[in-house]
């Protein structure tokens, strides 16, 4: 998807969630009661879209003679990653019949019909629609029957499904939100292990996010996921298995997901009868942390624990099951397999029996990368965590080395409680792994991508960026400034100085952008040339764009202040009266003022995009100026086995990388900081309102 398409999708997601959650708020349903049925409606909408698209493709093939005209079969749709949808399950049927049908029963019948035709979803789809009021169900169906959704692609609906999963996780709607791993962490795991072929397994698969993100990774290169990989999963919570199977179906994927407790069960077999154990090309997971009730007697001879038990307490239980998971993930790998998983930050330096298991693991040479993640990345827990990565196919020159990566200072603030990584931050962190693996061209390509992003953002300030709906924001704001000045200048107490400064800044930036674009077009395809271009031309222009943001904000504030002063003077009759037809003139003035504020926001957003991409390029260039791996204080260090042994076999990144040097942030964005504070305040106010409603409801029940 293009950046504009993703922006539009984000707006659609927010709008859908707001509408759907408002329906819940006006009902008697809790978030947990609402979760599965809403996801079921999204599933039906997506299934209908995929069916319609597949049917059109089939008919086109038949008309062109590429396919015989015969009764269609489920396999015809499956090849196009769609379900052969029964008529009663088609979204259009449900919408057109909503007022005349028992809509709750109709939805249940639709789910039953799909399950009858598609065995992987048997007994998995939601059927709890009888607890909904008919009007609520009708309104919910309408929410997902908007014009922009009727033709939406499977990829778009997959992302909407993931978005709703995330929002329900934030509400703790299902198992305290533990069914959902934050997308940033899943994406980092996928980026590091690159699961693009063979057997991909997740022994604590939750809602299937690891599988879905793997498919995104594969399809980014234009490949067909189901022709490249086979997904195997285990999950012990039936309701979460339902989420996972629906999630795969929404994305047109299939996987063998079993109801099993991985501590005691190894349910999978490959098609040739071999166990899954020892034959996985990729292992991915976010297992439950710090489980303390695993029966030691049942697992002590488990072949999946080649390093032994980490420790048994007096009650005969494994004191902490973290190292059971850590051992499982290693033992399931094939001879060249890779694994990536989330783990409690306590595990990497745990002592006693856990340290012994860790020693044996490090001595295999298969531990590849360790990443420290700051708190607040999970939606229902504030604890920090670490990501562990194995690579059984590491080359000989790296077998004794472990890359320690401390990512705790890299984050984006989503709300006052939740952090994540931006796409560019994830890419930058991934590029460190590329350098460690000797993949210099990929690093250089990323630097080039950031620089190109900054240049394109700069060009878009004054002309279309290639997206059909874009405008030239700096030209627009200049026109709006002049229109407003022309309207109010005769009535102002003083001349607006800030406008002239802003106009001059826009003109100067325009000339510099033209020079920048010309230089970039002739830039040599070398890292040295890009580094020089960044230092000599891109960095100064980004600094100029940053200054122009301040100038535009100041000019708008000045305009508004002078307008208020002019109105006050008019009311005191110390200034000439406004022109005739005052009301109409006032409405026109407000229209122009509103347009100015909107164009200022668009211009500032575009200028900040220039700075954003430049800073991401600078982040890489400053730390790795030669495009070769090197240790960076406070960020990364390639640690040899002898050093790990000397540190009690600790795998905690912070113990090795040191503390980052504190520098003054010349790019500190006060306005952005104030927006963060405002967002926190809005979040607190919303929480207060929700708490007030709950208190009032509880009080009403007591008084009833």
Q: What is the pLDDT of residues 46-61, one digit of tens each?
A: 889 889 989 999 999 9
Q: In whole angstroms, what is the distance from residue 179 CA to residue 235 CA?
A: 10
Please give the full DSSP string across 563-614, using - where no structure is assigned. Answer: HHHHHHHHHTTSSPPPPSSHHHHHHHHHHHHHHHHHHHHHHHHHHHHHHHHH
| Higher-scoring residue by pLDDT: 578, 223 | 223
Residue 659: partners with Cβ closer than 8 Å, 6 or more residues away: 633, 634
Q: Compute the mean pLDDT over every residue in the chain, rounded to the nearest whole number.
A: 85
Compute φ and ψ for 66, nearest 5 degrees. -80, -10
Instruction: Please give the Cα distance from 55 to 83 (Å, whole number).
Output: 10
| Of the candidate ranges 141-145, 383-387, 464-468, 479-483, the one whose mean pLDDT is the lowest | 464-468
Question: How far, in Å, are 173, 234, 553, 578 from residue 239 at the CA level?
Answer: 12, 13, 51, 67
- Give the pLDDT score at 521: 95
DSSP string over 131-171: GS-HHHHHHHHHHT--HHHHT--HHHHHHHHHHHHHHHHHT
Q: Hey, where are the domains in the chain? A: 3-162, 175-419, 420-614, 675-704
First to last CA, the chain: 54
Displacement of CA 554 from its chain's centroid (Å): 34
- The CATH label, of 3.40.50.150, 3.40.309.10, 3.30.1330.60, 3.30.499.10, for the domain at 175-419 is 3.40.50.150
Q: What percent of the chain has pLDDT over 90?
A: 49
SS3 320: coil
Confidence of residue 3 (pLDDT cuts 50, 70, 90): very low
What SS3 class is residue 337? strand
DSSP secondary structure of 652-688: -THHHH--PPP---TT--HHHHHHHHHHHHHHHHHHH
Reported as a single tens digit per residue, the pLDDT across 448-507 is 999 999 999 999 988 765 444 545 788 788 777 777 767 666 655 565 667 778 888 888
Question: In the prediction, which pLDDT does 468 show?
Answer: 45
What pLDDT is stored for residue 684 in this prediction?
A: 64
- Per residue in 12-28, pLDDT (tens digit) is 788 888 878 877 777 77
pLDDT tens per residue across span 515-552: 999 999 999 999 999 999 999 999 999 999 999 998 88
Six-digit token string for 149: 């959704």
DSSP reduced 3-state for 405: strand
Q: Pick the residue with more confidence: 81 or 542?
A: 542
Task: Give the model's pLDDT for residue 5.
Answer: 46
Span 415-428, pLDDT tens digits: 777 788 999 999 99
Pairing relationship of beta strands 636-640 and 412-413 according to DSSP bridges: unpaired
Of 313, 338, 341, 336, give the one whose Cα is nearest residue 325: 341
pLDDT recorded at residue 565: 67
DSSP code at position 360: H
- Measured CA to CA, the distance from residue 358 to residue 360 in angstroms comes to 5
DSSP code string of 87-99: GGG-HHHHHHTTT
**pLDDT confidence of 176, banded at 50, 70, 90?**
very low
What is the per-residue burial (b if ≥16 Cβ within 10 Å, else e) of 674-697? eeeeeeeeeeeeeeeeeeeeeeee
Give the ranges where 300-439 is alpha helix by DSSP (H).
Answer: 322-331, 353-363, 423-436
Whether residue 660 is predicted with pLDDT greater than 80 in this model: the reply is no
Closest to 192 in 3D by CA, of 416, 441, 432: 432
Tokens of residue 23, six digits: 């329906």
Question: Hey, do 3-162 and 175-419 end up sharing a CATH topology, with the first three levels equal?
Answer: no
Which fold does the domain 3-162 belong to in CATH? Answer: Ferritin (1.20.1260)
Rounded to 5°, the CA angle 172-176-180 comes to 80
Tens of pLDDT, residue by residue over 611-629, are 999 999 999 999 999 999 9
Please report where in the chains the tokens 């047109």 appear, as a residue: 252
Query: Cβ distance 198 to 281 under 8 Å?
Result: yes
Q: What gap in Å lies between CA 234 and CA 201, rounded to an integer? A: 8
Q: What is the pLDDT of residue 2?
A: 42
């Amino acid at each position: 998807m293009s950046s504009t398409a993703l922006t539009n999708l984000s707006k659609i997601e927010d709008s859908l969630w707001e509408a759907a959650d408002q329906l819940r708020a006006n009902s008697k349903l809790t978030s947990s009661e609402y979760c599965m049925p809403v996801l079921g409606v999204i599933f039906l909408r997506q299934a209908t879209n995929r069916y319609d698209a597949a049917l059109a493709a089939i008919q086109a093939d038949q008309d062109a003679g590429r396919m015989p005209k015969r009764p269609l079969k489920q396999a015809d749709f499956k090849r196009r990653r769609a379900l052969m949808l029964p008529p009663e399950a088609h979204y259009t049927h449900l919408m057109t019949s909503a007022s005349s049908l028992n809509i709750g029963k109709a939805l249940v019948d639709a789910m039953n019909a799909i399950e009858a035709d598609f065995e992987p979803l048997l007994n998995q789809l939601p059927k709890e629609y009888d607890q909904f009021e008919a009007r609520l169900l009708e309104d919910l169906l309408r929410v997902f029957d908007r014009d922009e959704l009727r033709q939406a692609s499977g990829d778009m609906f997959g992302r909407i499904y993931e978005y709703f999963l995330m929002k329900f996780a934030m509400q703790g709607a299902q198992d305290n939100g533990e069914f959902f791993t934050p997308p940033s962490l899943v994406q980092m795991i996928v980026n590091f292990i690159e699961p693009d072929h063979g057997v991909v397994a997740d022994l604590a698969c939750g809602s299937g996010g690891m599988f879905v993100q793997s498919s995104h990774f594969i399809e980014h290169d234009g490949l067909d996921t189901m022709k490249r990989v086979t997904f195997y999963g285990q999950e012990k919570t039936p309701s979460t298995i339902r989420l996972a199977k629906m999630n795969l179906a929404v994305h047109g994927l299939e996987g063998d997901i079993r109801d099993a407790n991985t501590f005691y069960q190894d349910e999978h077999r490959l098609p040739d009868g071999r166990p899954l154990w020892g034959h996985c090309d990729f292992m991915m997971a976010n297992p439950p942390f710090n489980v303390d009730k695993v029966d030691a007697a049942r697992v002590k001879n488990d072949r999946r624990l080649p390093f032994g038990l980490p420790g048994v307490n007096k009650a005969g239980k494994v004191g902490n099951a973290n190292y059971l998971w850590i051992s499982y993930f290693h033992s399931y790998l094939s001879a060249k397999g890779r694994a990536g998983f989330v783990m409690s930050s306590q595990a990497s330096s745990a002592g006693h029996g856990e340290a012994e298991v860790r020693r044996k693991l490090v001595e295999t040479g298969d531990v590849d990368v360790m990443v420290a993640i700051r708190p607040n990345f999970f939606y229902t827990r504030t604890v920090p965590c670490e990501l562990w990565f194995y690579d059984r196919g590491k080359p000989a020159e790296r077998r004794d080395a472990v890359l320690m990566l401390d990512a705790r200072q890299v984050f984006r603030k989503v709300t006052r409680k939740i952090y994540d990584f931006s796409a560019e931050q994830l890419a930058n962190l991934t590029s460190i792994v590329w350098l460690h693996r000797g993949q210099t061209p990929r690093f250089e390509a990323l630097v080039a991508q950031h620089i190109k992003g900054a240049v394109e953002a700069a060009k878009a300030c004054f002309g279309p960026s290639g997206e059909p709906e874009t405008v030239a924001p700096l030209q627009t704001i200049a026109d709006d400034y002049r229109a407003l000045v022309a309207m109010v200048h005769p009535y102002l107490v003083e001349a607006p100085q800030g406008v002239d400064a802003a106009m001059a800044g826009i003109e100067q930036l325009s000339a510099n952008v033209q020079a920048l674009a010309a230089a970039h077009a002739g830039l040599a395809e070398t890292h040295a040339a890009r580094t020089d271009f960044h230092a000599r031309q891109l960095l100064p222009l980004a600094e100029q764009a940053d200054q122009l943001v301040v100038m535009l904000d100041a000019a708008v504030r000045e305009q508004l202040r002078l307008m208020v002063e002019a109105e006050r003077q008019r009311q005191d009759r110390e200034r000439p009266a406004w022109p005739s037809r005052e009301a109409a003139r006032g409405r026109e003035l407000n229209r122009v003022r509103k347009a100015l504020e909107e164009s200022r926001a668009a211009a500032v957003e575009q200028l900040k995009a220039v700075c954003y991409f430049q800073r991401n390029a600078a982040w890489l260039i400053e730390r790795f100026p030669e495009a070769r791996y090197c240790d960076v204080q406070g960020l990364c260090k390639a640690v040899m086995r002898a050093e790990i042994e000397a540190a009690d076999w600790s795998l905690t990144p912070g113990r090795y990388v040191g503390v980052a040097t504190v520098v003054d942030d010349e790019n500190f964005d006060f306005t952005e900081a104030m927006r963060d504070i405002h967002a926190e305040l809005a979040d607190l106010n919303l929480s207060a309102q929700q708490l007030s409603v709950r208190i009032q409801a509880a009080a009403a029940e007591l008084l009833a």
